[in-house]
Structure formats: structure tokens, C-alpha cells
Amino acid sequence: MSRIRTSSLFHPRHPSELNALNESKALVDDLNRRKVLRGALTLGALTLLSGCDVSEEPSVQNALRAVSSWNDAVQGAIFRSNHLAPTFSPSQVVKPPRFNAYYDIEDVRPIDGATWKLELAGLIKDKRPWTAQEIYGLPEQELIIRHICVEGWDYIGQWSGPNLRAFLTRIGADLTAKYVYFICNDDFIESIDMASALHPQTILATKYAGELIADPFGYPLRLRTAIKLGYKNAKWIRAIEVTNTFRETFWSKQGENWFAGI
């Protein structure tokens, strides 16, 4: 938490930065419609990469995202479904965990655990919603694993809660479906591939270091998987959907890699 805050979307200094991004995107789109920027990818434009970011030029962005999709496929292909991530001892655990979201910690909207329910949708037989107490009654699995943020920082955390594979099996989810989506309380949506959802080190975490997860870190329920970058670990989950239909997620819309495996 003591690190220098940067201009990253993960730690925006001012919320308006996102608006600025969206505004300039609209401007570029508009210019593109008038075909002003067509063919702008010249060597000359490349030398201006940083000044006027050519990355945002639609044809360049499309090409880069096509490579990112290709990288999704490569990551799926090299994924070792039973290979376990390194685990650590309780003495290495950092308390409290490090905050990460697309807004600052003061802007977290806490969930009332008494009225909260986990909704289920998609290719699931038993879509009965779950209360927090019902989830606490499920068998728990503990993971002491490294959280790696796409920004480059990491810490070791101690998470526990029901194993996702066991939970998906219990609710009669179609385990041959392609994706598991997590719809969150903060209008955040993330998804992971089914192979990663079924990995033995993927859990629905309810506790950190033996205590209920505190509000900023996803109370009452969050995803914690040892095989994805931090931003894939959805917090404040309010619904889980199993589906074969891909749709862009919060971060993939921003241009982050969707698979984001580690």
C-alpha cells in the first residue's frame, strides 16, 4: 500500500481519467469515420508512438487485440490443469491483503451480508440462490498463495472458502461449458475459462487469514484462484453464470488480456 501510486487504471488518481480515455476514444472513432486517420500506421506515425498514442488508433488496437486473443488461445493450450501453484507458510502471509480495484479503497461500497444472496444463472440445474450462512456451511479449502498483479507487485495471502469445482458440481453446473462469469456488486464483471474454474486451487473465498474477508477485499464472497492475475479474481460477487457464450469483461473491454493466466 505504501508503493507509489501510478497512472494505472488499477489505481487511478482521479476518476476522471477513465472519462478522459473514453472521450479520446470517441474522438479517435469520430476522426476515423471521416477517414482522416486511415493509413496512419506509417513509420512516421510509429516514431510518435508515445506522444500521440498510436495504440488507440482503431486499426492498431484491433491488431493488438487480435494478438491478445491469440495469446488467450496459447495460454489455454499450455495450461496444465493439474499443475499446482507454489504454496507458502502462514508466517509469510501479508495482513491485511493489498487492495486492488478500478477505484480507490474509500470508494468501496460494502455489502450487507444479512440480506446478500448469491444468484446463479446459465447452465446450472439448481439455480436456488445461496445466503452467506449457507455458503459458510460448505466445506472449506485454504490456499496460501501468491497474488500477482499485472502491474508487477505481488504478496502472499491466506484465503479460504468452498472449492469452486466442488461448488459447481454441487449446484449441477454444466462442467463442459466454456466459461464461468462472475457478476459483482460494483458493476464489475469478470470471467474465467472452465479449465481454470475446475483447477484444484480455485476457490470462492469467504475468509482471509482465518477471519471473514473485510469489505475492501470482497466481503462476503470473492473468487481466489492461484492461476490467474489479480484482476481476474472478482470481488463482492453477487451472481455466478455458467455459459458457452463469450462476452467482454470489465478489464478485457479496457484492452487487458482476457485469459490472464499465470
x-or-dash string of contact with other proteins, 125-164, rule CB under 8 A: ---------------------x-xxxxxxx----------
The values of phi and psi at residue 259, to 5°, are: -65, -50
Tell me whether residue 50 or residue 176 sits nearer to other proteins (CB atom). 50
Give the nearer residue to other proteins in terms of CB position, either 63 or 212: 63
What is the distance between the alpha carbons of residues 19 and 39, in angstroms, rounded to a whole number?
Answer: 27
Do 232 and 223 form a contact (C-beta atoms < 8 A)? yes
The residues in 30-69 that bind other proteins, with binding defined as CB under 8 A, are 49-51, 53, 55-56, 63-65, 67-68
Q: Per rule CB under 8 A, is residue 3 in the interface with other proteins?
A: yes
142: closest CA among 180, 197, 93, 175?
93
Q: Contact at 8 Å (CB) between 153 and 139?
A: no
Residue (51 or 139) nearer to other proteins, CB: 51
Which one among 1, 78, 176, 187 touches other proteins, defined by CB under 8 A?
A: 78
Q: Single out the residue of 9, 41, 93, 138 in contact with other proteins (rule: CB under 8 A).
A: 9
Question: Pairing relation of β-strands 211-212 and 207-208?
Answer: antiparallel
Alpha helices, DSSP H only, in the chain?
16-33, 43-47, 58-78, 132-136, 164-170, 194-197, 250-253
Q: Which of 8, 32, 59, 131 binds other proteins (CB under 8 A)?
A: 8
Cα separations in angstroms, 13 against 99, 167, 254: 15, 38, 17
Q: Which residues bind to other proteins, rule: CB under 8 A?
A: 3-4, 6-10, 21, 49-51, 53, 55-56, 63-65, 67-68, 71, 75, 78-80, 83, 85-86, 146, 148-154, 226-227, 251, 254-257, 261-262
